[in-house]
Structure 1
């Protein structure tokens, strides 16, 4: 249980790092304010809005898939801790990481203020936001998939944990009922008997 809790906390912290990477790597368009009523002009012919949204989501999905892959392999490498509790901790930790990365990215990549939009000549940058909320499931899915594939490849019921070598179970002995008192059991010959 302690290992699962530490996994959740560690992945939550790594989620903030993924959020910083998302802010740094995601493409964002810059505009120059051309009029006080919020008229904008694209600086340097950047991406149009739909392409920009897809690119932001794509960078986020790749970052979360990479973090899920690394986290899944790291948890599996702790061979003494393999099992259901570690798997639940990993999945929950990746959910926390995904949400914290999205929240930090949205906070640092917030849209321009009304004051910036009313200042003629100011250069403003588009907001960073996750438009496809299903992307939050990518990290946990990849992390759990790594665990499932590793368990299948391990091919052992104990998942390869040290000190848990399986001992073959002996077949239970079949007890024979004692013969009633005064009756002597006689051995019968094998095979069919011929009656006269």
Structure 2
């Protein structure tokens, strides 16, 4: 014998699953662009110097620990996007009618696009705010051999394709992991989504020590 789990009382969705996936992807992309604006405002600039050597060569160096700002700014962007990914995973799960692999894929793709949008918007605004470093155009002369410059912070930890891909995929992986952890903790096979499906649970076996007396014992009584 078996018994059914609690009834899934979720109502039919008003919009299709495909449209719901599009809304998730578009919303995350817009949120990523807004995070790019926030990052460009928070990211620290990198101060350096361009100097003219005695041999006439131009050299570029960073002041003190200013070079650490490249790592700090990239870590800041990834941190903002991971927070967005975790919040988005929990929020998308609350859309109970569309729970399932379609929205999980939309969440993952949306977080990847949000990272790309944040990096693009942030890099453009940071370079607009601080300008681009031009070592060849620095106004250094034999009379004024030192010129101080300010450089925009970096959105990636490096310029290699592997480092860029890792930055783009890390928030998406975090969102997928959070969504999966919530899904595996759900007792229903349909995840409480639409259409509802009955989940049948096996009846526990009858224990011998709680069984009633046998037939001959009853007759003897």
Is contact 2:100-2:193 (8 Å) kept?
Answer: no
Q: Hey, what's the Cα distance between the residues in 1 that align with 2:171 and 2:149?
A: 31
Q: Report the equivalent of 1:112.
A: 132
C-alpha deviation, 1:56, in angstroms: 1.6
SS at match of 2:185: helix
Q: Point out where structure 2 has 5 or more consecutive residues left out of the alignment.
A: 1-17, 141-145, 202-221
Matched, 1:9 2:29: no
Matches within 5 A, 1:30-179: 30-31=47-48, 47-49=65-67, 51-110=68-127, 111-112=131-132, 114=134, 118-119=138-139, 124-129=149-154, 130=156, 131=158, 132-133=163-164, 134-161=166-193, 164-166=196-198, 168=200
When the two structures are superposed, what TM-score results if normalisation uses the length of structure 1? 0.71
SS at match of 1:156: coil
Q: Report the CA distance shift for 1:115/1:168 in structure 2 as closer, same or farther (over 3 A).
A: closer
SS at match of 1:109: helix
Is contact 2:93-2:179 (8 Å) kept?
Answer: yes
Q: Hey, what's the Cα distance between the residues in 2 that align with 1:141 and 1:93?
A: 11
Aligned length: 166
C-alpha deviation, 1:33, in angstroms: 6.3
Is contact 1:92-1:140 (8 Å) kept?
Answer: yes
Q: 2:37 aligns with which of 3, 6, 20?
A: 20
Is contact 2:58-2:135 (8 Å) kept?
Answer: no
C-alpha deviation, 1:127, in angstroms: 2.2
When the two structures are superposed, what TM-score results if normalisation uses the length of structure 2? 0.64
C-alpha deviation, 1:152, in angstroms: 1.2
Q: Report the CA distance shift for 1:40/1:156 in structure 2 as closer, same or farther (over 3 A).
A: same
Residues 26-67 of structure 1 show CA distances to partners (whole Å, capped at 9, x for unaligned) of: 2222346677x867786xx66332x22211221011011001
C-alpha deviation, 1:77, in angstroms: 0.7
Q: Hey, what's the Cα distance between the residues in 2 that align with 1:128 and 1:18?
A: 15
Q: Hey, what's the Cα distance between the residues in 2 that align with 1:46 and 1:21?
A: 26
- Indicate the structure with greater strand content: 2
Q: Hey, what's the Cα distance between the residues in 2 that align with 1:41 and 1:113?
A: 12
